[in-house]
Structure 1
Amino acid sequence: METTSRIVARYSETDQMGVIHHGVYINWFEIGRTDCIREQMGKPYSEMEKDGLMLPAIRSEVNYRSPAKYEDALIVKTTIAKYNGIRITFRYELVKEDDQKLVADGITEHCFTNLDLKPVALKKVAADLHQKIETACKEQ
């Protein structure tokens, strides 16, 4: 199952060359990820935190394909690429809205932890959430 998030590139996100600064893409991936969590897992990330679950990033990768510029309308397409009960990997494709040209793609990997940042098996601490993720993975 794919989640889509719409973004319009802001002037403050550009660099001296007039293109979107490379560091902004991880922020845009985060928008996609939080939308994916809300839509596919059935609750906003803030509720997961209230329930004692954290999801720190342990890896990120961005492949820059073509430049985005100020006021470009972009779509972040987010899917769950892998899930093993403790770690989850999200895959992202960032495309221009008008022509679907690929701007960037990448992944982020995260680990479910408790509030002390100790890894947890989601099946044991949040069986309902575990089941929703497994279902979302099967539907892809």
Structure 2
Amino acid sequence: MAHHFQLRVYYEDTDLAGIVYYANYLRFIERARSEWIRTLGIDQKALKADEGIVFAVRRIEADYLSPAHFDDELDVLTTTEAVTGARITLKQEVQRAGETLFVAQVTIVAIAETGHPARLPANIRLLMH
């Protein structure tokens, strides 16, 4: 099941040609992941305070297929591809009116405050499937 996050492209998101600057797609998908986690009922502040665990991006493989422009309404779809003890693999797509503009496979890892890998609590793994 895909999580949807809608956003509008603002002038600040674009370059001189009115096209979304490539790095801003990473910001868009980051926002979508944060909202996805929130809708699952996971409180990231509490996870850090109670378990000492935070999420970090380990890897992103991205394809830029077609440009988004100033004032476009975009939809970021986030779907879970795999969840293991300490790793989550997601597919994220940025779409405009059903057309896929950008797609990324994102690997998220759980890490302890020390920066070392950590196991995700079982209840969180279940929520992410």
Task: Tell me, yes or no, whether TM beats 0.5.
Answer: yes
CA contact (8 A) 1:33 1:90 kept: no
SS at match of 2:38: helix
Greater alpha carbon shift after TM alignment, 47-56 vs 85-94: 47-56
Structure with greater proportional helix content: 1
Structure with greater proportional strand content: 2
After TM superposition, give the deviation of residue 8 of structure 1 in Å: 0.3
SS at match of 1:112: strand
Which residue identity does 2:69 align to in structure 1? K
Moved over 6 A (4+): none
TM-score scaled by length of structure 2: 0.91
**2:77 is the counterpart of 1:104:** no
Which residue identity does 2:60 align to in structure 1? S
Match of 1:113 in 2: 111
Percent identity over paired residues: 25
In structure 1, list runs of 5 or more residues that go unmatched: none
Match of 1:77 in 2: 77
**2:108 is the counterpart of 1:130:** no
Pairing of 1:44-83 with structure 2 (within 5 A):
44-51=43-50, 52-83=52-83
Partners of 2:44 and 2:106 in 1: how far apart?
A: 16
SS at match of 1:94: strand
In structure 2, list runs of 5 or more residues that go unmatched: none
Aligned residues: 128
TM-score scaled by length of structure 1: 0.84
SS at match of 2:36: helix
